Amino acid sequence: MTGPQVLITTWNEERNLPACLASVQGWARRILVVDSHSTDDTERIARAAGAEFVQRDYRSPANQKNWGLAQLAPGWVLILDADERVGEPLRREIDAALAAPTAPAYWIPRRSRFLGREIRHAGWDRDGVLRLLERDAGRYREALVHEELHCPAGHGRLREALEHESYRDIDDYLERMLRYARAGARQLAREGKRAGLDRVLLRPPARFLRMAIWQQGWRDGPHGLLLCALSALQVGLKHALHWGIARGVIADKEDGD
């Protein structure tokens, strides 16, 4: 059976995209890459792999994915980020699910690596994404960060995991941390959430303790503890930026606006 259509959204993903595309080539019925005007080799890599490549101005991750879904034909769609890979066990399970579907969408567990090591604790062991759906079964709710797919008719669950190469090095983490923190701060401001220095001071240690102790991130060794520390730093930065936006000392706008 031919696999689903695959939708990938990208921006400067020349390092991640080749492995992602290789994991679905020869299996996916169609691959559509929706790109936010990359300045690296993303376009050449996508076209060389036989993917359809479209560039579009970026508004939000939800908006980009919803637009991409609308460009695909009716039928099943698997939505991927460029740092994700579909292994053979997951491909077989998806084929079986699509041969006799029991739901209009499926949640997929995700196995993530941080700086080259798989993280089995710190909350990452419960990670998963709703990414396989009939094209018209759902859409993403608008959000500037942590967008979620909403499927009114419900969803099933797969057992095999999506492979997620989350961060290749510290520089990559820090670059994305600032981007996510800014987006998270803007989201808090637009939702009218309270901004206070207490959150800047108290939320980071609370996040570290939750991930490192309660969720046993310490069991992943130095990689796990570093992940917990960086996650706490990101939380503090998000709330500090939110505090600045609320007081008018930081503009509520996207980078480059």
Average pLDDT over the chain reads 93
CA distance 39 to 154: 38
Neighbours of 57 (CB within 10 A): 8
pLDDT tens column, 76-128? 999 999 999 999 999 999 999 999 999 999 999 999 999 989 999 999 999 99
The lowest-confidence range among 28-32, 163-167, 220-224, 235-239 is 163-167
Is 199's pLDDT higher than 70?
A: yes
H or E element at residue 34: strand 30-35
**Residue boundaries of the structural domains of the chain:** 5-166, 169-246
Q: Percentage of the chain with pLDDT > 70?
A: 97
Band of residue 172 on the pLDDT scale cut at 50, 70, 90 = confident
CA distance 31 to 29: 7
Kindly state the DSSP code that residue 127 receives in the 8-state scheme.
-
Is 32's pLDDT higher than 50?
A: yes
CA distance 134 to 101: 10
Band of residue 240 on the pLDDT scale cut at 50, 70, 90 = very high
The confidence score (pLDDT) of residue 1 equals 52
Integer CA distances (angstroms), 243 to 198, 208, 248, 250, in order: 10, 21, 9, 9
In sequence order, what are the beta bridge partners of 133?
A: 77, 105
Q: Which of 95, 123, 97 is nearest to 110 (CA)?
A: 123
Q: Percentage of the chain with pLDDT > 90?
A: 80
Task: Classify burial at 248, counting beta carbons within 10 Å of its beta carbon; exposed 0-12, middle 13-18, buried 19 or more.
Answer: exposed
The dotted CATH code for 5-166 is 3.90.550.10
Structure tokens at 172: 């990559």
CA distance 257 to 242: 18
State mean pLDDT over 182-206.
92
CA distance 209 to 251: 32
Is 255's pLDDT higher than 50?
A: no
CA distance 255 to 193: 22
CA distance 191 to 189: 5
pLDDT tens column, 8-20? 999 999 999 999 9
Residue with the larger pLDDT of the pair 253 and 49: 49
CA distance 231 to 126: 16
pLDDT tens column, 148-171? 899 999 999 999 999 999 888 898
Integer CA distances (angstroms), 154 to 75, 76, 83, 146, in order: 17, 15, 27, 20
The confidence score (pLDDT) of residue 254 equals 57
The confidence score (pLDDT) of residue 256 equals 38
H or E element at residue 78: strand 76-81
